[in-house]
């Protein structure tokens, strides 16, 4: 029997270039979808004839309502080893094995600093002016040395962001609901007593928290109002942690200097979404995990997951 494998959201059409799918031989036909399916009905129709599905991060939810419609599905592979939008109970009930892959924290760390530096030094504005015959030097850069970097979250990514900030000569503070003084001392940063203290004292505030009940909507209008008018907010974590409407209002009204955002409530972002035209915003289309090394890891291990499943010994099983 020949199986069919769907690779979702392969926007750059590179999934087959970053792994040796030939290792599966003639047992599996691989089909990449370079567009995004916006509705569950579209997704159910597209995946009806597939045995295996590879999905990127948490962009595509797999609730019970969808899984129950995919009678042929046997194996669902998610990039990363944690996925909050898959109904594992429904998958198990339907005989669907869910597997993951390893993921590196380096790409989102690097993108965090790309956004922060891009904002601080007006890189996009200055580049556009240079190319379009605009003014020679139209912005005045915001300094990093001696300024305060406030981190919401000091986990695997947040702690590495902290190390870079310290290398730039920044004062680094951190806060999260579970952050201990011992952890702050271990990383070499100051521990803010409260979320409010961290925001009020930061020149750059960066979000590095997992999304959950306690962090959803953690940064809303009252929290954004605590930021200095000269402060910048960076979010490469999860969109729902920061109230998107409140952030748009703060940007449109000039209440903060700017924001760098890589995550959105709806992805891909609709063409008429106000985030696409908001002032003082440096935005990227969820590139945090998009790097050569990460893709090689995701798709290479997806092939391994399929091989192991076909051999009757699934690996990296989730749920």
Give start and end residues of each alpha helix (H) in the chain: 40-47, 64-67, 88-93, 106-120, 123-131, 156-167, 181-187, 195-201, 221-224, 244-252, 292-310
How far is 206 from 49, CA to CA, in rounded Å?
A: 43
Residue 141 in tokens: 């850069």
**Which residues pair with residue 6 across a beta bridge?**
31, 53
Residue 148 CA to residue 205 CA, distance in Å, equals 8
**CB hemisphere CA count around 202 (13 angstroms):** 33
CA 261 – CA 245 distance, rounded (Å) = 13
Active-site residue (options: 147, 208, 286, 297): 286
CA triplet 186, 116, 211: central angle to 5 degrees? 65
Length of the chain: 319
Catalytic: which of 29, 197, 267, 304? Answer: 267
Kind of pairing, strands 97-100 and 148-152? unpaired
Q: Is 36 a catalytic residue?
A: no
Annotated active-site residue 131? The verdict is no
Residue 238 annotated to the active site: yes
At a CB cut-off of 8 Å and minimum separation 6, what does 53 contact?
5, 6, 8, 47, 70, 73, 75, 76, 77
Enumerate the β-bridge partners of residue 219.
Answer: 242
HSE-CB for 92 with a 13 A CA cutoff = 6
147, 191, 238, 297: the active-site residue: 238
Query: Which residues are known to be catalytic?
Result: 238, 267, 286
């Amino acid at each position: 029997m020949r199986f069919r494998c769907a690779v979702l959201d392969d926007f750059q059409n590179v999934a087959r270039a970053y792994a040796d799918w030939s290792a599966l031989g003639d047992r599996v036909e691989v089909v990449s979808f370079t567009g995004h399916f916006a509705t569950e009905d579209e997704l159910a129709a597209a995946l009806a004839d597939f045995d295996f599905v590879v999905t990127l991060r948490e962009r595509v939810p797999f609730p019970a309502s969808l899984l129950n419609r995919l009678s042929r599905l046997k194996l669902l592979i998610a990039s990363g080893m944690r996925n909050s939008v898959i109904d594992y109970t429904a998958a198990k009930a339907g005989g669907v094995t869910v597997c993951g892959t390893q993921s590196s924290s380096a790409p989102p760390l690097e993108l965090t600093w790309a956004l922060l530096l891009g904002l601080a030094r007006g890189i996009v504005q200055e580049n556009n002016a240079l190319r379009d015959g605009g003014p020679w030097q139209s912005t005045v850069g915001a300094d990093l040395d001696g300024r305060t970097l406030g981190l919401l979250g000091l986990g695997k990514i947040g702690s590495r962001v902290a190390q870079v900030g310290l290398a730039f000569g920044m004062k680094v503070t951190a806060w999260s609901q579970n952050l201990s003084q011992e952890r702050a001392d271990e990383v070499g940063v100051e521990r803010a007593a409260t979320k409010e203290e961290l925001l009020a004292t930061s020149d750059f505030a960066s979000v590095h928290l997992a999304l959950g009940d306690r962090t959803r909507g953690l940064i809303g209008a009252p929290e954004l109002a605590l930021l200095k008018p000269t402060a910048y907010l960076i979010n490469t974590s999860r969109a729902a942690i920061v109230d998107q409407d409140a952030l748009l209002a703060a940007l449109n009204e000039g209440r903060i200097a700017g924001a760098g955002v890589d995550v959105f409530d709806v992805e891909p972002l609709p063409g008429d979404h106000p985030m696409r035209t908001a002032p003082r915003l440096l935005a990227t289309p969820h590139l945090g995990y998009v790097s050569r090394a990460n893709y090689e890891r995701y798709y290479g291990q997806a092939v391994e997951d399929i091989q192991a499943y076909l051999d009757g010994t699934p690996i990296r099983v989730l749920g």
